[in-house]
């Protein structure tokens, strides 16, 4: 418990720029009807801060810990995807979809395949299949299969994050919990996007989408730092 408290305390100050950037986004609340490079910058700024958060742990840490470097790469693709989605009404929605699909592949790789936990995989498969079954009648053209592939990828990412928890074996850590909650919030954010774009207007959709999205990215970024923080704790003890 004390190790976890130390880790949370040590990481908190490094996230202050992220929280400030997120507040700037919600305070300005830039209209989606007039996309611009400025609005893209403001939207991507919290993700840029998460880049800095991970880079602050040192290049050697990122090089020696593949999971952390893959999460950083996922954050980079996320920022590109965010920029594309600013211009989604101009035909760049699929580009954004592709960037986030790559992000989920990178996050899945970072979370790893051990433990396998087939029960969690089956449950996630049922949830994702149900979501796609609901969306299917609203989809047309290339979105019929693009959305299916995307749901499969984010569902796989969610499975790997949940599998890492190992609650039954009491092997979970606060960083694995961060990954799990972050993955679930990412799925909520993307489901809200899909419902709002393809099915029906979702009340307060933009707030729901961005609040869950930023929280998800922060928690996933936090999940990358466990190894470094444990090393620091042992040095200070």
What pLDDT was estimated at residue 205? 94
What pLDDT was estimated at residue 127? 97
Residue 226 has pLDDT above 60, yes or no: yes
What pLDDT was estimated at residue 10? 75
Task: Give residue 237's pLDDT band: very low, low, confident or very high (50, 70, 90).
Answer: very low
What pLDDT was estimated at residue 43? 94
Q: For residue 170, which phi and psi values (nearest 5 degrees)?
A: 55, 40
- State how far the alpha carbon of 132 is from the alpha carbons of 32, 88, 137, in Å: 26, 21, 9
Which alpha helices (DSSP H) does the chain contain, by range?
A: 2-11, 16-28, 37-55, 59-64, 66-86, 93-111, 118-136, 143-163, 174-194, 205-222, 226-236
The model carries a pTM of 0.91
Residue pair 44/213 in contact (Cβ under 8 Å)? The answer is no
Residue 112 has pLDDT above 70, yes or no: yes
Percentage of the residues of the chain whose pLDDT score is greater than 90: 73
Q: Within 10 Å of residue 75's Cβ, how many Cβ atoms? A: 23
| CA 168 to chain CA mean position, Å | 25
Over residues 1-5, the mean pLDDT reads: 44
Name the average pLDDT for the chain. 89
Residues 6+ apart with CB under 8 A from 96: 81, 82, 84, 85, 88
How many domains, in total, are found in the chain? 1
What pLDDT was estimated at residue 35? 86
What pLDDT was estimated at residue 8? 60
Task: Give residue 13's pLDDT band: very low, low, confident or very high (50, 70, 90).
Answer: confident
Residues 6+ apart with CB under 8 A from 194: 131, 135, 147
Over residues 4-33, the mean pLDDT reads: 79
What pLDDT was estimated at residue 47? 98
Which stretch of 38-42, 145-149, 225-229 has the lowest confidence by average pLDDT? 225-229
pLDDT per residue over 140-198, tens digit each? 999 999 999 999 999 999 999 999 886 555 556 788 889 999 999 999 999 999 999 99
Residue 97 has pLDDT above 70, yes or no: yes
What pLDDT was estimated at residue 33? 59
SS3 (DSSP) at 220: helix
d(CA 129, CA 132): 5
Residue 86 has pLDDT above 60, yes or no: yes
Domain that holds residue 91: 1-236
Q: Residue 179's closest CA among 191, 165, 168, 192?
A: 165
Over residues 18-47, the mean pLDDT reads: 88
């Amino acid at each position: 418990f004390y190790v976890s408290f130390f880790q949370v305390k040590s990481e908190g100050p490094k996230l202050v720029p992220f929280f400030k950037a997120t507040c700037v986004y919600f305070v300005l609340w830039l209209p989606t009807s007039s996309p611009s490079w400025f609005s893209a910058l403001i939207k991507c700024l919290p993700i840029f801060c998460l880049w800095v958060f991970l880079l602050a742990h040192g290049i050697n840490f990122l090089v020696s810990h593949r999971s952390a470097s893959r999460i950083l790469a996922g954050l980079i693709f996320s920022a590109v995807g965010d920029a594309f989605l600013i211009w989604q009404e101009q035909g760049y929605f699929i580009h954004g979809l592709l960037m986030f699909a790559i992000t989920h592949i990178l996050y899945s790789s970072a979370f790893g395949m051990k433990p396998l936990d087939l029960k969690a995989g089956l449950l996630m498969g049922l949830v994702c299949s149900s979501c796609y079954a609901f969306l299917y009648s609203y989809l047309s053209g290339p979105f019929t299969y693009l959305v299916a592939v995307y749901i499969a990828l984010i569902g796989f990412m969610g499975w790997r994050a949940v599998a890492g928890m190992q609650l039954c074996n009491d092997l979970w850590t606060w960083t694995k919990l961060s990954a799990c909650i972050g993955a679930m919030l990412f799925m909520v954010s993307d489901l809200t996007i899909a419902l709002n774009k393809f099915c029906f207007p979702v009340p307060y959709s933009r707030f729901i989408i961005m609040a869950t999205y930023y929280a998800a990215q922060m928690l996933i970024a936090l999940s990358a730092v466990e190894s470094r923080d444990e090393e620091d704790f042992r040095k200070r003890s």
